[in-house]
Structure 1
């Protein structure tokens, strides 16, 4: 990067970035111009820090770009909105190979392309480690946003996407049981789910149209994020662990690779506290027809002094609730 210089780097990146239908003026000026036909826009931001959220020993530039896009796109989807544009600020050391940055641009583009979102600009700077900061915008298309505060007693709790796969993939990588240097198609599916999470982003709008009463992106663990809905809505959520049987079956092999003896506790921990699958957790009225991809995973109950989130009627039998940026271990 230090040998090539900023202008040449930008000239290499810009042609790789996707241009969406809402983009009126893309990269190249002091700011982009994006259409907002709803007269409102949804906005969120997130950051990836090297050795905190990813490691270059495990992740290619493409992987990091993909993850940076997906975790932001999922936040917009969780509001019931359609992602339209991303602004990306990239901080890199001067000795970073240019191929890492062009790979990152390709990863961003690949994650954005299915939802039609554009990367419309950003910033580039230098430091001792890689930092990727993304701001994403979305369009509600005239609908009300789906917040965390609308769950009501009697609602069903539903989930779309995978549970525990990313956590298991991270555990395999940390234990040296997976080769993250392999092409994505040759990687263990769990490792691939950690490096390039693939949530059902279109399910967010579908949930909004189906009358979801609350929704959020499960990025920090099912227990932690269900607790956020429960607190915002002043309700209790009871989860049915058996509803994740398909995920549990996919995780058993990895748990056996990592632990001798019974493995069910580790599988349950990944499902209940693992983060970064970026599936959608939503609540619906008891008579709602759930959109494709959602399955019932629990019930909303009245707040009665019990823990905000229970599993099969009892306090969860796992340690912790999920990822905490100031209390969790590094990636």
Structure 2
């Protein structure tokens, strides 16, 4: 539906505090927020006495496109990218702080819808958006900082993997990358893949669960599985071997790969933005679903696939 031009309210017309009021009114307050937006700073419960913190930034044209995704989609993605990092430490997310830099002519309702997406994704883990900042900018930019609570557990680091451990995944890999490829070729289907790019389906509960199960290391798969476990390999001083047969490739992905002339394992092994959790466990740990073993940790260095060096791209490069 086309909105009459006179019905549009730009962020410039709304003003900074008017926009803040419009946005914050749409944000639910979770149980960890003792004091939300409205003062110089928020107050968030930290019962563990330690606070897990992560931050990420999304820039229009590089991390998202408004012709591909709704404002709510972008809100979900921005929140998920940070909440997944908290879960990857074995912690429970508690709060988000968001900085929003917008072109003055942007429709204020886009910012409101963004807030709806941020709030809805945070609510999945009982977290809330407790504050942030706004500024004018020629480039639409969203910076999110997430906080988390370890709930008495030790943090899961990248440096704990040991030879003999198994590598297991919870969540999807390759779906978002396939969706990005589909969109970049001018298509809007298959819906499964396109929606995976627009809104990640992150297995947040599996982060704290991995800690309780005795995981030795964990990482959020944001840039690509091989690239991200490569960071674990370096930090732990070990090698990884990943097995292709550990992954289930859905029919929609196989069909899209065939139509586009792409090897689907290019997406599964090197595609990011699904925010699956990759963890290492002692081999004798019985892993419940949705964890599935996809490889093993060995003595040495680097990452191989089916025992051989991987010739494709291991993941996203930011520079």
TM-score range, shorter chain: over 0.9
Match of 1:294 in 2: 291
1:191 and 2:194 correspond: yes
Aligned to 1:2, the other structure's residue is in SS state helix
Residue aligning to 2:234: 231
Equivalence map 1:257-272=2 (5 Å): 257-259=259-261, 263=262, 266-272=263-269
Q: Tell me what 1:15 maps to.
A: 25
1:172 to 157, 179, 182: 182
Match of 2:8 in 1: none
1:247-281, CA deviations, whole angstroms, 9 ceiling, x for partnerless residues? Answer: 3544111112322xxx5xx2011111100110000
Any gaps of 5 or more consecutive residues in structure 1? 180-186, 327-331
Q: Does the residue aligned with 1:115 lie in a helix, a strand or coil?
A: coil
Residue 253 (1) aligns with residue 263 (2): no
- Aligned alpha-carbon RMSD (Å): 1.2
Of 135-144 and 286-295, the range deviating more from structure 2:
286-295
CA deviation after TM superposition for structure 1 residue 18, in Å: 2.3
The one-character-per-residue Cα deviations of 1:148-172 (angstroms, maximum 9, x if unpaired) are: 0100010010000111000000001
> Partners of 1:248 and 1:152 in 2: how far apart?
32
Question: Does 1:308 pair with 2:302?
Answer: yes
Q: Does the CA contact (< 8 Å) of 1:162 and 1:247 recur in 2? A: no
Q: Normalising to structure 1: TM-score of the pair?
A: 0.91
Do the aligned partners of 2:90 and 2:155 also contact (CA within 8 Å) in 1?
Answer: yes
* Residue 83 (structure 2) pairs with residue 73 (structure 1): yes
Verify the 8 A CA contact 2:192 2:252 in the aligned structure 1.
no
Contact 1:248 1:271 in 2 (8 A): no
- Secondary structure of 1:209's aligned partner: helix
Q: Does the 8 Å CA contact 2:240/2:296 hold for their aligned counterparts?
A: yes
Query: In 2, distance between residues paired with 1:146 and 1:291?
Result: 19
State the 1:292 CA deviation: 2.6
Residue 182 (structure 1) aligns with: none
Cα distance in 2 for residues equivalent to 1:201 and 1:316: 29
Q: Find the residue that maps to 2:278 and give its secondary structure.
A: strand
TM value normalised by structure 2: 0.95
Deviating 4+ runs (over 4 angstroms) = none
Any idea what the Cα deviations from partners look like across 1:209-244, whole Å, max 9, x if unmatched? Answer: 000000000000011011111111100100011111
Does residue 324 in structure 1 map to residue 317 in structure 2?
yes
